[in-house]
Amino acid sequence: MESRIFSGIRPSGKLHLGNYLGAIKNWIELQDKPNTERAIFAVVDYHGITTPFNPKTYRQQVMDTILDFLAAGIDPKKSLLIRQSKIPEHTELAWIFNTITPVSWLDRLPTYREKLGETDGKYNHVGLLDYPVLMAADILLYKSNLVPVGEDQLPHMDLTNEIAKKFNSMFGQTFEPVKPHLAIGARIMSLQDPAKKMSKTPSASSGQAGDEYIALSDSPDEIRDKIKKAVTDSGNEIVFDPAKKPAISNLMTIYHLLSQNSVNEIEKKYGGKNYSEFKSDLAEVVVNFLNPFQEKRRELKNDLTYVEDVLMESEEKAKIIASSTLTEVKQKMGL
């Protein structure tokens, strides 16, 4: 079957290794598959404003995320790169979906509950609750059937399918089922708390903000420092056992995904060695992996006209698909 791929990332803060290993790495693999009919990757800036943001720097953050996509290997000859807010059909379709989505489908979702908790209920606005409906609109607007995401997004994928089914049953067959595409790195954990996913938001239990994640833009020294400070489990052996040794297993997953070594090979290589030897090697693996990415990013930063051109061209093409779906939806609804 031909794949029509869509995925997105919020431009909130710096992209980190969790975003890369859980999502972008897969995007790059999928854009090259022969049965990929189209691939669209978005900076979801309307989603990004559901949590605190700075209007003075937001535009820059959106551009920074686009630079990250390109530097990581998204190829504009194979994929479209878009900014969600430049294509108003996303929010139009979200509004339509709002009218068929019961509130009870939304207020039980774990990400909503987590976000409410993180901000002490301070940002309890309709947008936060409605966030997954806009996500369903992002995906279905392009009649996508494959969505490469990390594990935390699975409840949103289920919701997308529920909304599609309900729309089809009310107004006639329009949307196909959508499948998530999960990576092995679908859940990279925080360096400070292996029970929590790696995220840009610091947890109350941990030390300094920023020590929890490795940003794609971190300098070699920052990377070495963060890995050195990463929490480890009791004992001293380098063995992969996510249940009993969640911290070292998480670090091994990162090592495995960024190098050519399997988890087994890593266990063998570090048999008899201690955590600090393993950690200093891991730091070099990460530094070496990020070096070409950072180099490419610097080049792109000096060629913003090229980046703007890529966006304009992609958004124009995406808009054609978006408006055709919206016209079909409106016709079916008598709008």
Question: Which residues are known catalytic residues?
Answer: 115, 197, 200
Amino acid identity of residue 227, one-letter, is I
Q: Are 178 and 161 in contact (CB under 8 A)?
A: yes
Residues facing 189 on adjacent strands: 197
Helix (H) or strand (E) holding 36: strand 36-43
Instruction: Find the shortest distance in angstroms from Cβ 39 to ligand TYM.
Output: 12
- Structure tokens belonging to residue 193: 């708390």
Q: Measured between alpha carbons, how far is 11 from 46 in angstroms, rounded to an integer?
A: 9
C-beta of 115 vs 297, nearer to ligand TYM: 115
Residues facing 16 on adjacent strands: 215
- Structure tokens belonging to residue 287: 């530094």
C-beta of 15 vs 307, nearer to ligand TYM: 15
Instruction: Find the shortest distance in angstroms from Cβ 22 to ligand TYM.
Output: 2
Task: List Cα–Cα distances, 48 to 83, 92, 157, 229, 264, in angstroms.
Answer: 11, 18, 18, 30, 39
Instruction: Find the shortest distance in angstroms from Cβ 68 to ligand TYM.
Output: 11
Rounded to a whole number of angstroms, the distance between the first and last alpha carbons of the chain is 32
Q: Are 31 and 65 in contact (CB under 8 A)?
A: no
Strands 179-182 and 36-43: unpaired
Instruction: Find the shortest distance in angstroms from Cβ 135 to ligand TYM.
Output: 4
C-beta of 22 vs 76, nearer to ligand TYM: 22
Amino acid identity of residue 25, one-letter, is K
Q: For residue 282, report the phi and psi dihedrals to the nearest 5 degrees.
A: -60, -40
Q: Measured between alpha carbons, how far is 245 from 234 in angstroms, rounded to an integer?
A: 8
C-beta of 174 vs 237, nearer to ligand TYM: 174
Question: Which residue is at the shortest CB distance from ligand TYM?
Answer: 22
C-beta of 91 vs 237, nearer to ligand TYM: 91
Burial of 94 (0-12, 13-18, 19+ CB in 10 A): buried
Report the chain's C-alpha Rg in angstroms.
Answer: 21
Instruction: Find the shortest distance in angstroms from Cβ 100 to ligand TYM.
Output: 18
- Judged by the rule CB under 6 A, the positions of this chain that interact with ligand TYM are 6-10, 18-19, 21-23, 44, 47, 135, 138-139, 147, 149-150, 152-153, 156, 185-188, 197-199
Instruction: Find the shortest distance in angstroms from Cβ 44 to ligand TYM.
Output: 4
Query: Any residues with CB less than 8 A from the CB of 104 and at least 6 apart, and which?
Result: none
C-beta of 8 vs 76, nearer to ligand TYM: 8
Instruction: Find the shortest distance in angstroms from Cβ 144 to ligand TYM.
Output: 8
Strand order, beta sheet including 146-149: 80-83, 36-43, 3-9, 146-149, 179-182
3-state secondary structure of 220: helix
Amino acid identity of residue 138, one-letter, is D
